[in-house]
Amino acid sequence: MGHDIEHDAGGGILANKLLWICIGAGVFILIAFILPTPQTLVETLEKYGFAKKMMEWEVAHSVKDAANKTMIVLGIIPMAVVFFATEAIPIGLTGILMPTLAYFFHLLPSRMIGKTFAGDAPMFLLGVLAMGVAVVDVGLHKRLASWLLGWTKGFVVPIFVLCISMSVVGSFISAHAMCAFMTPVMMAVYFGAVEANSKGDTLDHDPALAKFLLFTLCYALNVGGIGSPAAGGRNVIMMGFWSEYNVPMDFLTWMKYGLPIVPVLGIVVAVYMLLLFGRKIKTKDLTPGMAAIKEETRKMGKMTYAEYVTFAMLIVILLLWILGGEELGLGGPALLALAVPVIFKTTDWKKILGGISWDAWFMYCGALTLGALLKESGAALWLAQTFLVILAKVGMSKGFGLWVGLSSLSGVITNFMSDAGTTALLGPIVIPMGIMTGVAGEPWATGLAVAFATSFAHFLIVGTPNNAIVYALGTYPDTGEKVIHPIDFVKYGFVLFLLCMIVVWVVGFLGVFKIVGFPDGVLETAKGVLQAGIK
């Protein structure tokens, strides 16, 4: 069967790779070596010990030298964004560029740079990508599609079912794992739908439908992150900060604030995606796709040995993620997806290595390096403080205005560095800010505002593993070509990011916060701890 795929991204000015390479490099040189170093940056590095730390690491010889190194980091950020979004150079090579610059400009100790490529997070993504290969190889993704969506018909109903179910499920188990399971499912549904709609021997591809299904899945899983502490380490980190002020929040209480917003966000994702892609999609009936998968599943007969092993592996990995705690982390269990299929002879080792998107893996590791540079150089703290000064000048220094400002800051930063890193950076800053406002419900309100927004890493491919996973595993079944271009995240994700923020502000801050309320004494207890610490 032939194929005909029309790509709707990467054309026009975006195709001029040399232009974007020059723009990215030019911005880097301008910020890193030409613009004067702000005095506030120097003061921040000196006041909070970043300069002293860099001198102890022997990456800087003076406060001024440390500030110059931080300016280089600030220059890397826009260059990386340009390169990631436009693919001026392959995204994997852009990822490798991050530690390369860190080594050559001596921005961090070499041992720390190496750890960003060999820590828990890189091993986790490597295992998840291998998991996707194993699931597809044994055909288990077809059964998953039949179980989850086989009962739905048409076009709109399956999308709403997908968005609401995935957002809620993503609140309690690893959204990254669900993304790895479901991305092949979405492509199987796509292939069945376009195959049924094609005439003759030519497969009439519908790139808009493929993008629509993958982005809908990805964004629905992203927004589920606010639902419970089990959704991610960022939520647990924020709970730890509250405990330091003797105002701990339990699992059920978090759910009272976060879970009611999740289905609303799921519906927003569904409506937005339908409006965005509605006119572009040629195949507007998913029923044939799901019927074809159900028929293939029927022909497959009973589950095979390979399917049972793969399914058991998925369950074990999920349980280890939920119950393993900090000792196992996420990377340890995920690496089982590399070993189990080979040991039990369900998937060939070379097929796993060949199926992993190393481009996406190198890209994500580079993003982790960038996150470490932002945090350790003091660049992230300086950017945050600069933004908070602006908030104070525009009258958003307490209450609803502060929550809106902090969540906006958190949401933007989380598209450049990990959600856990964003929470770890902002938590120690924003909690005391909330306490000092004297507004009832602090420091819980500011903490929730920051943590909630870290789930909305929609508009940069490096923002969350979910984005990297749909990019890596989202390939056309007949050609192996990638469905998504990195620039697509900017094109389709930024407006959704704004919509999600508005939902949290209106439904969360003005609705749930007022209806659920905050316990008496939270502010007073936290204020007492803060004042005792100051004394």
The Cα angle at residue 363 between residues 361 and 368, in degrees rounded to 5: 95
60 and 69 Cβ atoms separated by less than 8 Å: yes
pLDDT value of residue 281 = 94
N-term to C-term CA, the chain: 76
Distances (CA, A) of 76 to 22, 31, 34, 122, 353: 14, 9, 14, 21, 31
DSSP one-letter code for 475: B
pLDDT value of residue 125 = 80
Q: Which residue has the tokens 């796709």?
A: 289
Strands (E) in 161-254, as ranges, are 202-204
pLDDT value of residue 331 = 82
Q: Helix, strand, or coil here: 482?
A: strand
The count of other CB atoms within 10 Å of the CB of residue 15 is 12
| Backbone phi, psi, residue 217, to 5° | -60, -50
Helix 207-223 to helix 486-503 angle (10° resolution) is 40
Token output for 92: 């994997």
The count of other CB atoms within 10 Å of the CB of residue 230 is 17
pLDDT value of residue 11 = 53
DSSP one-letter code for 30: I
Q: What are the mean pLDDT values of the chain's consecutive 10-residue runs (535 residues total)? A: 46 77 96 96 92 94 95 93 86 91 94 84 83 84 73 87 91 81 86 82 87 97 91 83 90 93 98 94 86 78 91 87 72 90 94 88 84 85 84 88 94 86 84 87 94 94 89 87 93 96 98 94 90 64
pLDDT value of residue 7 = 47
Residue 10 zone, left/alpha/beta (φ > 0; ψ -120 to 50; rest): left
State how far the Cα of 46 lies from the Cα of 429, in Å rounded to an integer.
Answer: 17
The Cα angle at residue 200 between residues 194 and 205, in degrees rounded to 5: 30
pLDDT, tens only, 233-250:
788 889 888 998 899 998
List CB contacts of 519: < 8 A, sequence separation 6 or more: none
State how far the Cα of 185 lies from the Cα of 147, in Å rounded to an integer.
Answer: 11
pLDDT, tens only, 168-205:
988 887 788 788 878 988 888 898 888 888 776 778 89
State how far the Cα of 27 lies from the Cα of 448, in Å rounded to an integer.
Answer: 35
pLDDT value of residue 91 = 84
State how far the Cα of 342 lies from the Cα of 491, in Å rounded to an integer.
Answer: 39
pLDDT value of residue 139 = 83
pLDDT value of residue 9 = 44
DSSP string, 93-110: HHHHHHHHHHHHTT-S-H
Token output for 272: 């937005």
pLDDT value of residue 329 = 74
140 and 307 Cβ atoms separated by less than 8 Å: yes
State how far the Cα of 281 lies from the Cα of 207, in Å rounded to an integer.
Answer: 8
pLDDT value of residue 6 = 47
pLDDT value of residue 29 = 97
Task: Indicate the helix (H) or strand (E) that contains 197.
Answer: helix 175-197
Q: Quick one: three-class SS letters along 482-499?
A: ECCCHHHHHHHHHHHHHH
pLDDT value of residue 535 = 46
